[in-house]
Amino acid sequence: MSSINPDLERVLLTEEDISLRVAELAQQISDDYRERGNLYLVGILKGAFIFLADLVRQLSIPHDVDFMAVSSYGNSATSSGAVRILMDLREPVENRDILLVEDIVDTGQTLSYLHKTLQGRRPASLKSCVLVQKEREAPHEPIDYLGFAIPDVWVVGYGLDYAERYRTLPYLAELKRSVYMKNGS
């Protein structure tokens, strides 16, 4: 990887690592939901848009796609604790099989908030599919489909950003600490 951006420490997951794992997840999800009705996939913007797009194109079961946007961190690399819905689903989800699709779980606050909020709308079922989870000591919200466990560092690429940058890199990379410690976060 000779042309790696100088802001990046190292590549954690290559394009190939990701695409192989996404195919496995899609296969597993298709198998698990085959006997049910339409699967309602809820992508969490902005971070999950690339993961979701790759995942749904490999599903072999009927499905619908919708999005929610939430905000938790602003432009900083540490959690402020508060989660806010910036854009909600377009349809009621009562009696539907929902699969939340998230880019990353760090503290687990966002996922747990979304879980609580959507559970209150009485879906038939509610599960989550997450590309990467940071390894931490604190217990996480259980994840039903997990791509990879990664170290507790700031990562970018494949949909994930730092202050809106690096989102469209095709791989997942660790951002240099010097880049995200600059802004007082």
15-33 helix and 49-56 helix, angle to the nearest 10 degrees: 60
Q: Which does 43 bind (CB under 5 to 8 A by kind): Mg ion, ligand IMP, none?
A: none
Strand arrangement, sheet containing 125-134: 84-87, 63-71, 39-45, 97-105, 125-134, 145-150
Q: Find the binding residues for ligand IMP in span 158-177 (CB under 6 A).
A: 160
Query: x/- site string to Mg ion, residues 94 to 133, per CB under 5 A?
Result: ---------x------------------------------
Query: CB of 126: closest distance to ligand IMP in angstroms?
Result: 17
Which of 7, 106, 152, 161 is the catalytic position? 106
Secondary structure element (H or E) that encloses residue 149, with its range: strand 145-150
Q: Is 157 in the site for Mg ion (CB under 5 A)?
A: no
Q: Which of 43, 47, 108, 157 binds Mg ion (CB under 5 A)?
A: 47
Q: Is 54 in the site for ligand IMP (CB under 6 A)?
A: no
Q: Is 133 in the site for ligand IMP (CB under 6 A)?
A: no
Angle at 123 between CA 27 and CA 57, to 5 degrees: 25
Query: CB of 68: closest distance to ligand IMP in angstroms?
Result: 11
CB atoms within 10 A of CB 8: 20
List the one residue out of 26, 156, 41 whose CA is nearest residue 104: 156
Rounded to whole angstroms, what are the CA distances from 17 to 23, 59, 69, 87, 176? 10, 18, 27, 31, 21
CB atoms within 10 A of CB 2: 3
Q: Which of 97, 110, 128, 143 binds ligand IMP (CB under 6 A)?
A: 110
Q: Is 148 in the site for ligand IMP (CB under 6 A)?
A: no
The catalytic site residues sit at 106
Q: Where along the sequence are the contacts to ligand IMP (CB under 6 A)?
A: 47, 72-73, 79, 102-111, 154-156, 160
